[in-house]
């Protein structure tokens, strides 16, 4: 291949800048040009909320690369404040327009990489363009929010949308002493999580004073003196001084569509595993492309920085004939919400149900490190897997500490196509301040493998709605004090340590449904009962998971971390 290629990259930030740097490392003779519509070619847009909250005090630290740094180190030409407005595939040129709206000529290319990203969604409703209504995707967006707050008078703000940016914005506005209303049209925040796992986040938002408005849809925004008024579909209204729209993003595909490139079913640019579009000399990467889930095989739109960076490298590799292919997007992600972290990887239960994929699930609540070492907090883990092979399909975790470690291990296991039986044997680091001899990931593997082997017969929280008193007996095996504090209606309490001498109190002609706080004592009771001739099952994840699934999880209060997250002796 003649390496004197003219490579033009439309869009910088994560994907475009990575593609440019990788291309230069593969060729010193290629002419590499980045066309960037905005003033910043490479910036940390994931850090924008944290600069608003003052966690990242230095604005300049958000600038990952500048035109000057890219030119000095990589000999890359960067044209900022220049918009690509058209692609001529026959002439192999890109038409440009300057920030002043004037024609800025054309730039020729031998290989073209599209990295236009995604744009913040502004719904077609009245008032979205009013002063005091913002999105948060670029540094100018961030600057506008900070300037609005600095002008004074912002004591209350409404964040519309409970995704990653919405949650991070809510936290950082609250840190500035602003009362926050978080409005979400769905029944939960953090759409990648399943509802019961998101319930932990809901309760922690309440602990931190964020007013959460679920299943409420905004229909319009209007001025009301110095305030803004949100109108809801139920006819009610809410006054605020600032609105941050965080309703999601949409892939920027205008250039690709106009050039006649294929668009995928989810609205992103269609690419193959080498990031080539329907024109083999044009590549597309990042938030603008459609990806495939390695778990379900379904197409999707997953705007994440990690995949964008990898796709940029793969596009550059492909241009120079390297054997490099994209393996799909697991959607591994994590979000900080005050004192909690919530993350996931692979398919959620709702996605598996939508795809028609058969699955099983287990819940584990295990300490992030040894319980006898100070500061231990449970990590709630949900594991999804294939019922015949035990192949991992997805995982979610929420907790105060150690969520990132477990999600990363599980994402690696998913990528390697490991099974729940493999999780039993993972050798993970252990010292009292960092982990346990049986890590939560191991515990999830033990629980799932025991289920598939038939040793651990389970029932899930949603199945308790269908109990028949004539056939089912609900047994609470926690301590008497725990039972008196709260329990599931209709349960009979026999603590697990008293169960053997009291087996005669249980009916032989009914199914015994045992439960404890988080599932471990219930499992011990289930095995004891099964081996004693009873028909017994265990409530998977115990009383805590039942509270999560039914929306009754306790924890509101003034503590930085709710009591439901504090390790205790009861298991």
Q: State the catalytic residues.
A: 46
Q: Strand, coil or helix: what is 353? A: helix
Q: Quote the CA–CA distance of 193 and 397 in Å, as a whole number.
A: 9
Structure-token pair, residue 559: 């503590």
Query: Buried b vs exposed e over 488-503: b needs ≥16 C-beta within 10 Å?
Result: beebeebbbeebeeee
β-sheet bridge partners, residue 394: 346, 384
Contacts of 236 (CB under 8 A, 6+ apart): none
CA distances from 435 to 342, 420, 571 (A): 18, 20, 17
Antiparallel, parallel or unpaired: β 156-160 and 291-292: unpaired
Q: Quote the CA–CA distance of 161 and 290 in Å, as a whole number.
A: 23
Q: Are 381 and 363 in contact (CB under 8 A)?
A: yes
**For the chain, first and last CA: distance in Å?**
64
Torsion of CA 231, 236, 239, 244, to 10 degrees: -50
Rg value, the chain, Cα: 27
Q: Strand, coil or helix: what is 492? A: strand
Q: Quote the CA–CA distance of 240 and 245 in Å, as a whole number.
A: 13
Compute φ and ψ for 95, nearest 5 degrees: -80, 140
Torsion of CA 244, 245, 247, 251, to 10 degrees: -120
Q: Strand, coil or helix: what is 174? A: helix
Q: Quote the CA–CA distance of 518 and 143 in Å, as a whole number.
A: 45
Which of these, 494, 487, 405, 469, lies nearest to 442 by C-alpha position? 405
Which of these, 25, 77, 6, lies nearest to 281 by C-alpha position? 6
């Amino acid at each position: 291949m003649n390496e004197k290629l003219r490579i033009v990259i439309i869009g910088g930030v994560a994907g475009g800048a990575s593609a440019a740097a990788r291309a230069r490392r593969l060729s010193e003779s290629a002419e590499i040009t980045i066309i960037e519509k905005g003033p910043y070619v490479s910036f940390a847009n994931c850090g924008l909320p944290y600069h608003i909250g003052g966690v990242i005090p230095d604005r300049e630290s958000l600038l990952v690369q500048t035109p000057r740094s890219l030119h000095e180190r990589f000999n890359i030409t960067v044209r900022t404040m220049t918009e690509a407005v058209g692609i001529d595939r026959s002439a192999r040129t890109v038409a440009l327009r300057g920030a002043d709206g004037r024609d800025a000529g054309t730039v020729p290319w031998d290989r073209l990489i599209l990295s236009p990203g995604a744009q913040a969604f502004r719904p077609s409703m009245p008032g979205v363009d009013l002063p005091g209504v913002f999105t948060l995707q670029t540094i100018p967006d961030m600057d506008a929010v900070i300037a609005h707050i600095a002008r004074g008078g912002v004591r209350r703000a409404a964040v519309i949308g409970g995704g990653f940016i919405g949650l991070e914005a809510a936290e950082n506005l609250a840190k500035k002493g602003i009362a926050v209303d978080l409005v979400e049209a769905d029944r939960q925040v953090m759409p990648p999580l399943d509802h019961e796992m998101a319930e932990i986040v809901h309760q922690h938002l309440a602990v931190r004073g964020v007013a959460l408005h679920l299943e409420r849809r905004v229909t319009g925004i209007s001025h009301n003196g110095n305030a803004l008024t949100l109108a809801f579909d139920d006819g009610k209204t809410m006054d605020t001084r600032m609105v941050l729209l965080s309703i999601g993003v949409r892939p920027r595909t205008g250039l690709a569509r106009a050039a006649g490139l294929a668009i995928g079913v989810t609205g992103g640019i269609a690419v193959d595993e080498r990031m080539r579009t329907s024109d083999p000399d044009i590549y597309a990467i990042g938030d603008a492309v459609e990806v495939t889930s390695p778990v379900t095989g379904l197409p999707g739109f997953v705007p994440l920085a990690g995949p964008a960076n990898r796709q940029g490298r793969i596009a550059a590799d492909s241009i120079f004939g390297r054997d490099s292919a994209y393996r799909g997007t697991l959607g591994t992600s994590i979000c900080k919400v005050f004192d909690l972290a919530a993350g996931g990887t692979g398919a959620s239960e709702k996605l598996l149900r939508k795809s028609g994929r058969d699955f099983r699930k287990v819940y584990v609540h295990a300490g992030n490190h040894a319980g006898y070492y100070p500061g231990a907090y449970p990590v709630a883990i949900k594991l999804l897997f294939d019922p015949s092979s035990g192949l991992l399909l997805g995982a979610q975790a929420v907790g105060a500490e150690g969520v990132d470690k477990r999600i990363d291990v599980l994402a690696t296991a998913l990528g390697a196509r490991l099974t729940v039986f493999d999780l039993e044997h993972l050798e993970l680091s252990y010292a009292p301040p960092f982990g346990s001899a049986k890590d939560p990931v191991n515990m999830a593997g033990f629980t799932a493998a025991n289920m598939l082997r038939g040793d651990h017969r389970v029932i899930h929280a949603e199945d308790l709605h269908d109990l028949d008193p004539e056939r089912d007996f609900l047994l609470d095996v926690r301590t008497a004090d725990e039972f008196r504090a709260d329990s599931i209606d209709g349960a009979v309490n026999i603590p697990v340590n008293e169960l053997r001498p009291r087996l005669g109190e249980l009916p032989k002609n009914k199914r015994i449904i045992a439960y404890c706080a988080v599932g471990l004592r219930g499992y011990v009771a289930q095995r004891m009962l099964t081996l004693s001739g009873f028909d017994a099952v265990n409530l998977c994840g115990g009383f805590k998971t039942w509270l999560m699934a039914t929306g009754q999880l306790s924890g509101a209060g003034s503590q930085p971390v709710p009591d439901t997250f504090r390790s205790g002796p009861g298991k």
